[in-house]
A and B are shown apart, each in its own frame.
Chain A
Amino acid sequence: MHEMSLVEALLDSLLPLCAENGWKKVERIHLKIGSLRQVIPEALVFCFKTASAGTPLAEAEIEIAEIGIRQKCERCGLEWGGEIPLGRCAACGSIEITTTAGFEMEIDSLEVWDNDDETD
């Protein structure tokens, strides 16, 4: 249960941005989370609702795009995806494997109320 730590980190990144840019209300936060990250989306959303109360992020919806595992053999170039990460290339047997996707834990983008519009 490390979702609360992630939420704290998320608030630490986003609240200063809200202050700097004068965003009063963030509508939606788009996250990219790799399937190897062991994050429970419901737990993340629950922690976020609790921790963001009283901030410009309080009403933001969290959208999580789960990114599947992708791996690449550095020797023969084979690329593959799967449920679990593999330690050896199925084609050439090399252990020079790079996991190219599945460990993401990124803030992809935000949707914020356009402050400029309010003055129109």
Chain B
Amino acid sequence: MTTKRISLIQSVMAADERFASRIRSMMAERGILLLNLIGSPGAGKTTLLEETLKRCRFRAAVIEGDVATARDAERIASCGVPVIQINTRGGCHLEANLVLRAIENLELEKVDVLFIENVGNLVCPAEFDLGEDLKIAVCSMAEGADKPLKYPHLFHTCGAVVLTKKDLFPYIRFDRDLFWKDVETLNARAEKFEVDNLSGDGIAAWLDRVETWLRQKREQKRA
């Protein structure tokens, strides 16, 4: 008996990539900006969203990904924004098929910017395309300055890096220059922000940029 070799050359994740492109075209048709926030547990992703939602003039909605609990969704809901919680029950990242199901439960005609808060993790979420316009890397000063080089996939592919908890700077050893130098090495195109979610310092610049991305998305829709 012999074996025969059959050439396939197809993506392992072909099925999920189809869900991601479906999401991408749904967003493109409607001119909705889709941002995928990725960062460690405790980086300040939900707090960044809360501060963004309190101040923004666009109509936002949020998809929350967590292993368990609806705590983040409750925090977002109290900002008066539509939110859908996905519990992955152990899964360390969101996948496009789950996100698509969540999107189907949103009233998209009332949404300008859809934020996805991914499961807290710097590794796996970077691997899965959710149909987003941009991945946003959220990292806190408390995590240390070595994170970009330790997690090159995320920092190389993201559209922006938001460094949070900058109010902690006087109290911790954080090599700010090294952090931004490594981000620049991996991804010279990434937009760079430093924010203090508690005082709101730095949020305005971030929000400005989100509004610019939204304008660009709408221009693409018209073009």
Q: A111-B5, A112-B4 are in contact. Are A9 and B16 (CB under 8 A)?
A: yes
> Is residue A98 contacting chain B, with contact meaning CB distance below 8 A?
no
Contact with B along A95-108 (1 / 0, CB 8 A): 10001000001111
Could you tell me the distance between the alpha carbons of A111 and B4 in the complex, rounded to whole angstroms?
5
Task: Flag if A107 contacts B12 (CB, 8 Å).
Answer: yes
Q: A1-B124, A37-B127 are in contact. Are A114 and B15 (CB under 8 A)?
A: no
List, in ascending order, chain B residues with CB within 8 A of A117's CB. Answer: 1-2
Q: A37-B127, A86-B186, A108-B9 given; name 20 further pairs at CB < 8 Å.
A: A1-B124, A2-B123, A5-B91, A5-B95, A5-B124, A6-B13, A9-B13, A36-B153, A38-B153, A84-B152, A87-B156, A87-B184, A95-B188, A99-B156, A106-B9, A107-B10, A108-B8, A109-B8, A110-B8, A117-B2
Interface size on A, residues (CB 8 A): 33
Residues of B within 8 A of A (CB): 1-16, 91-93, 95, 123-124, 126-128, 149, 152-153, 156, 184-190
CB-CB nearest in chain A for B125:
A2
Task: Flag if B186 contacts A9 (CB, 8 Å).
Answer: no
Select which of B5, B149, B153, B156 is within 8 A of A37 by beta carbon.
B153
Could you tell me the distance between the alpha carbons of A88 and B6 in the complex, rounded to whole angstroms?
39
List, in ascending order, chain B residues with CB within 8 A of A108's CB. Answer: 7-9
**CB contacts between A and B, total, < 8 Å:** 102
List, in ascending order, chain B residues with CB within 8 A of A107's CB. Answer: 8-12
